[in-house]
Structure 1
Amino acid sequence: MTVNQASFRHAGPRELAVALQDARHYTLALFEALAAAGYDDAARVPRLPIVNPPLWELGHTAWFAEWFVLRGALDSRPGAASGHSLLARGDDWFDSGTVPHAARWTLDLPPPGAVKTYCHEVLDRILDRLAHEADDDLALYPYRLALAHEDMHGEAFLYSLQTLQSRGAPAPAPAGALAPRAQSTAAGSAGDIAFPGGSFMRGGDQSRGFVFDNERNAALVKVAPFAIDAGLVSTAAYLDFVHDGGYERSQYWTEAGRAWLMTQERSAPRYWAREGEDWYTVRFGRPVALDLAEPVRHVNLYEAQAWCAWAGRRLPTEDEWEYAAGSNQPGFAWGQLWEWTASPFLPFAGFEADRYRDYSAPWFGTRQTLRGASFATPARLRSPHFRNFFTPERDDIFAGFRSCAL
């Protein structure tokens, strides 16, 4: 099967059919990697706020697609879909809007084989229906939504694999599981790129194709002149901060960052460890030497802000980031890791929630915006307009940062 990695936002029925199969294959492959380590049993999964029990997450991805595509839901609220789930208690088990996070460890879920059968059945029925759909934005909206949702959960599966394997016996992902998403993790060219500023259309052309609700409404935005790193901050540059006692020097940390630091025993990023003068990190359960040339990975907002304060720099705003990414400046490298910005996650003027009402609206004001993509993000999901968002302390995700001149 040849996977077309063109943007899912304008994919027609044929492209969507291939992409949906690719996404489901990838989800199942990562579930199998987690199951091989025993994490298909919720009792063996630590109750961490940053992970879901893998069996629940697998069922949820299929249920979401069933809800919006097969059951024709125009809303994510209970009762908004027609008919019943293919699983007798599917709505009770897998609706993330009604099943609290902590409750997902105590559900009487079907065995893994039954959940995987459900995944295959939902996909088969979706493909049958898709084969008769018109190449029309309205008709294809639920398919594109389901694809984007599964792609995002595929990446979540991968950082859950990283999190869980760092706590237990290593069980590497299948050799082919990462190949469709593997991208360069080089830090990019050194130095700043100066932009003269000006106006740009934030959100891009929203007259056709798929648009996430938090990207609306497109608006002409002015950006003052600024200078921004061509690439992400490297591990070597961050290691200099560590060696300079950055984690012990409170003047570099924001008030919120100091409060976070007081709850930790940290002197370096998550997964870093030291043996004598040598540093290594843990990647999917295996210790590897730090690659000083690659972008620093698994840092949270507070750590990014502290490095910037130490270096006499600042994080870019999301408007600056989108302006730079959309400039076609060949030296501006992005897509290796998600990038923290200085912008809290807030609605744009004219925001209205789309069918998946819980996607953006509940999180405004409590999350920070990240831009770009990571090596684990499928190419079809990458866009300079995409707004990712996480709480500031999250360092399990595949995130780094770049900086701007003051």
Structure 2
Amino acid sequence: MDAGALAAALAAARRRTLSLFDALAAAGYDDPARLPRLSIVNPPLWELGHAAWFAEWFVLREATGSSPGEAGGASLLAQGDALFDSGRVAHAARWTLGLQPEVIKSYCGAVLKAILARLSHAPDDDAALYPYRLALAHEDMHGEALLYTLQTLGAAAPVEEDVADWPAAAGEIAFAGGAFQRGGDQSRGFVFDNEKTAALLTVAPLTIDAGLVSNAAYLRFVQDGGYDDPGHWSGAGRHWLAQQGRQAPRYWRRAGDDWTGIRFGRQVALDPAAPVRHVTLHEAEAWCRWAGRRLPREEEWEFAAHSGHPGFAWGQLWEWTASPFLPYPGFTPDRYREYSAPWFGSRQTLRGASFATAPRLRSPRYRNFFTPERDDIYAGFRSCAL
């Protein structure tokens, strides 16, 4: 993405962030006092200000890292660092900062204007454009997080974000295995630090689902008493199940002999052919044990996605894999040091993308990562033969 395309993308990302914030504000969630204090969400006004601050930190203030003292100058917003540095502002404190919507929106506008002005004179090379690409990726990720928040809080999403379900691809694909380049190519463009270092990897033969497990396939597990049989669940899964008392995925609701789903606060028909969504790693693993299947390892998923096989469908939902989130050999953190390194070993890797992911962020190499109990995210799964 060159400087011209970057400028358009940064402006588009900010429009999306503001649109999603306005949707939350319309439901009253611009006021932190009306927002439940959940560990999985941030106050929307804080998230909006943080996205602008991050871009200012790495682009306008030319930060070489994410620690205090590694950026030049001062924020365009008084006390900006004390308000929006996620490394220094504890999650619980973000509800009590006294933020004002018009002040934060004005700050967002000033930061974007200054960034676009600077970008118009930037050299068209990877080193010069890296901070802009990092800021864009960061804002795109926070845009998707705001859509998670809308779903979690039961608030209506903007019309363009409320994407209808589409059928999951059916059948299996048998791959003979082989070698492929895992990870990002550092020769040009933008690469997340956890995708480094690129290496040739060999994958054994495998048979993998062409698409995601559907609602209908998951419903058979529910109807067969899958949530009641501890033999299907890992130790961690049984612990989670005992705490939650679930009998179905988070947003499923029984309606007589049928099931419905909850989508941005409204009840919708559960499409049997659509992929099951909002499931935890524990639920994905339990279904696989019940079905005599397994989750793919992340290198198997990446191999299949890079294969060029026209039947391998991805991008509907993030996909849980069997792989814990760990560094590749030779890993070194980039400027945003808190992006990956603190989470190695405590998160699980997801692959692909979701309907809420900005198209420019989608890549077969992208490694998303969440804790196993997260079901607020747009996640499903596919399985492999044992």
- TM bracket, shorter-chain basis: over 0.9
Alignment of 1:98 with 2:88, yes or no, is yes
In structure 1, give the amino acid aligned to 2:319: E
Larger relative contact order (CA 8 Å, sep ≥ 6): 1
For residues 257-315 of structure 1, the C-alpha deviation after alignment (integer angstroms, 9 at most, x for no partner) is 00110101210001111121121111000000101111000001000000000000000
| TM-score where L is the length of structure 1 | 0.94
Q: Give aligned-pair identity as a percent.
A: 71
Residue 175 of structure 1: how far off its partner (Å):
2.4
Q: Distance in 1 between matches of 2:284 and 2:123?
A: 46
Q: Distance in 2 between matches of 1:184 and 1:207?
A: 38
Alignment of 1:186 with 2:170, yes or no, is no
Mapping for residues 146-295 of structure 1, pairs under 5 Å: 146-165=135-154, 170=155, 172-176=156-160, 178=161, 185-188=166-169, 190-295=170-275
1:334 aligns to what? 314
1:142 aligns to what? 131
1:133 aligns to what? 122
Residue 101 of structure 1: how far off its partner (Å):
1.0
For residues 37-82 of structure 1, the C-alpha deviation after alignment (integer angstroms, 9 at most, x for no partner) is 0000111111111000000000000000000000000101112110
For residues 218-251 of structure 1, the C-alpha deviation after alignment (integer angstroms, 9 at most, x for no partner) is 0111111000000000010001100111100000
Residue 173 of structure 1: how far off its partner (Å):
2.1
Q: Distance in 1 between matches of 2:89 and 2:184?
A: 35
Alignment of 1:81 with 2:85, yes or no, is no
Question: Aligned to 1:263, what secondary structure does the other structure show?
Answer: helix
Residue 372 of structure 1: how far off its partner (Å):
0.1
1:399 aligns to what? 379
Contact kept in structure 2, 1:318 and 1:341, CA below 8 Å:
yes
Question: Aligned to 1:298, what secondary structure does the other structure show?
Answer: coil
In structure 2, give the amino acid aligned to 1:335: G
In structure 1, give the amino acid aligned to 2:106: T
Contact kept in structure 2, 1:217 and 1:348, CA below 8 Å:
yes
For structure 2, the residue ranges without an aligned partner over 5 or more in a row are: none
Q: Distance in 2 between matches of 1:39 and 1:259?
A: 32
In structure 1, give the amino acid aligned to 2:144: E
Contact kept in structure 1, 2:133 and 2:190, CA below 8 Å:
yes
Mapping for residues 45-60 of structure 1, pairs under 5 Å: 45-60=35-50
In structure 1, give the amino acid aligned to 2:323: S
Residue 184 of structure 1: how far off its partner (Å):
6.7
Alignment of 1:118 with 2:107, yes or no, is yes
| TM-score where L is the length of structure 2 | 0.98
Contact kept in structure 1, 2:165 and 2:274, CA below 8 Å:
no
Residue 174 of structure 1: how far off its partner (Å):
2.6
For residues 343-380 of structure 1, the C-alpha deviation after alignment (integer angstroms, 9 at most, x for no partner) is 00000000000000000000000000000000001110
Contact kept in structure 1, 2:323 and 2:349, CA below 8 Å:
yes
In structure 2, give the amino acid aligned to 1:15: A
For structure 1, the residue ranges without an aligned partner over 5 or more in a row are: 1-10
Question: Aligned to 2:201, what secondary structure does the other structure show?
Answer: strand
Contact kept in structure 2, 1:185 and 1:375, CA below 8 Å:
no
Q: Distance in 1 between matches of 2:131 and 2:184?
A: 21
